Structures are given as C-alpha cells and as structure tokens.
Structure 1
C-alpha cells in the first residue's frame, strides 16, 4: 500500500464523519481544489484504503429491538467445513456480521431480531441447523457506545 500523508489522513477522517460529503467541501476544508480532493479520494479507493460507502441504519428504529452476539464453535473444522458454514450463515438476513475469530469459539456473529421470541425462532430454525454447528453461546447487547475513529 502506498504511504499516506497528513492530508490523506485528514481526508479519511472527514469521510468517516460523512462519506457523502462533496469533494468540493472536502477540498475547501483541506485547502485543496475540488479536482485535487477528488483525485486523492480516487487514489485512496484504488490503493484499497477506502472500501466503499456504508449507511448506518438504526436497528431499533426499524423494529429490531434485540441484538445478540453469538459465539459459535464448529463441530468439525477444516477448510470445507469453514466455507460451508460461512456460506450458509451469510444467507441468514438477521445475521449482520460473521467474524472468524481465534479463541474459545470459531466464529462471532452479530444477530438482530425484533424481540427475544423472534431471536429464539432464528436461533432454533436457522442458526442451529447450519452445517457443522457445535456449541453456541449467546450474549444479549444491553447498550452500545460506538466511537468510530480513525485507524
């Protein structure tokens, strides 16, 4: 990856705050012209420092009042088992993130549901029927303070 200078880092901080901010506004804040700001943004995409745009949705406001983190241990590990599990779990729309981790569990899942009864339905009918699934531990999210900051 190409080295990032101070202007690139400031640009990334501005985009983290608001990814939809126009290049002309970014340029003004950084002391660059709009084309120069746009070229930097394009270069950051090309080198992989920017991986797209995201929209943060408020799950609770959309009717998903429960978030549960699941620790999942596979009954059998191996490349084929991992790929089968990842493919199957990624198809469950309530599963928001799938993280392959090192430690007590093989995977960490973030699951949203309308309420605990809805979560139980998703767990029993969808998650516990996945290929290769072993022990599962659930942790219900009580509150979340997300402090996104520059890397």
Structure 2
C-alpha cells in the first residue's frame, strides 16, 4: 500500500470528480505547479492507485431507462463451472457487471434495458438460459444517488 499525503488525496478527489482536467488546471486549483502535479499523477498511476480513467455515459439518454440488479443462485454448481456461467453472462450485451458474491446468491448482475418489456425479454431469453441458473431475484432501480468515494 502506498503512503498518500493530503495533496495526493486532493488530486485523487479532483480527478474522481473530473478526470478530464489537465495537470496544469488541476495544479492551479490545488496550488501546485503543472510539473509537480504531473509528477504526482504519474506516480499515482505507476503505483496502481490510479488504475485508469473512465468515460461516464448517461444510459437513459441513449434510451436505456431501466437498470436492474439480479441476484442469481446457481442450481447445479457441481455440473456447471463458475467460469462457464461467468463467460456466458458477460457475453450478454445488456449485462454490464457480473459479480461473484458471498451470501444468499452466487452472483449479482447489473442489467441495463430500454424498458420493462425489454428487460423481460433479456431475462427470459438470455439470463434464464445461462448455464446452471437456478433462482433469480430482480431489484429494479427506482432512483440512484451518487456519493463521493472513500476519499471524498
């Protein structure tokens, strides 16, 4: 684990809010020179603290207005490998996240669909036909509030 000082944390918070900021703009906002800010960002990347920068797409603006989290319990763990299930689940375009979890369910899937009818199609034709699927529980997202990360 890398030791972070207050400036490193400030840089991470600022990049988490807007990863498109230049080192110069970020440095000015934090009272650092552009080269000093750039060196800190590069060190954080080299140490693996910054693992990448992502583009956030508004799914609803693209017509995907329904998000559903599915809990999936495998029925035949001995007859189907976890890798087979994971490979098949990640091949479904509407499934954005596949998490192997501990608890009541074996997996948690994040599914994006255009509407409830589209979600039902994905559930019936794709998710329920995955290898080893037993019990499935759906939780439709009604609203979402973004909270700052652990550094916020």
TM-score category (smaller protein): over 0.9
Instruction: Name the residue aligned to 2:142.
Output: 142
Contact 1:72/1:134 (8 A) holds in 2: yes
Q: Moved runs in structure 1, 4+ residues, more than 2 A?
A: 148-151
Structure 1 position 8, deviation (Å): 0.5
**C-alpha distance in structure 1 between counterparts of 2:44 and 2:108, whole Å:** 30
Conservation of the 8 A alpha-carbon contact between 1:16 and 1:150: no
Q: Deviations over 1:51-106 (max 9, x none)?
A: 1111111111110111111000112336x711111111111111111111111001
Q: How do residues 58-73 of structure 1 correspond to structure 2 at under 5 angstroms?
A: 58-73=58-73
Query: Which range is displaced more, 129-138 or 17-26?
Result: 129-138
Structure-2-length-normalised TM-score: 0.92
Distance (whole Å) between structure 2 residues aligned to residue 124 and residue 59 of structure 1 = 22
RMSD: 1.4
**Alpha-carbon distance between aligned partners in 1 of 2:28 and 2:42, rounded to the nearest angstrom:** 17
1:32 to 2:32 alignment = yes
Distance, in Å, in 1 between the alignment partners of 2:24 and 2:5 is 20
- Structure 2 distance, partners of 1:150, 1:31, is 23
Compute the TM-score of the two structures, normalised by the length of structure 1.
0.92
> Counterpart of 1:111?
111
Give how far 1:16 is off.
Answer: 0.7
How far, CA to CA, are the matches of 1:50 and 1:104 in structure 2? 33
Alignment of 1:2-151 (within 5 A): 2-77=2-77, 81-151=81-151
Whether the aligned pair in 2 keeps the contact of 1:13 and 1:150 (CA below 8 Å) is no
Structure 1 unaligned blocks of 5 or more: none
SS of residue paired to 2:2 = coil
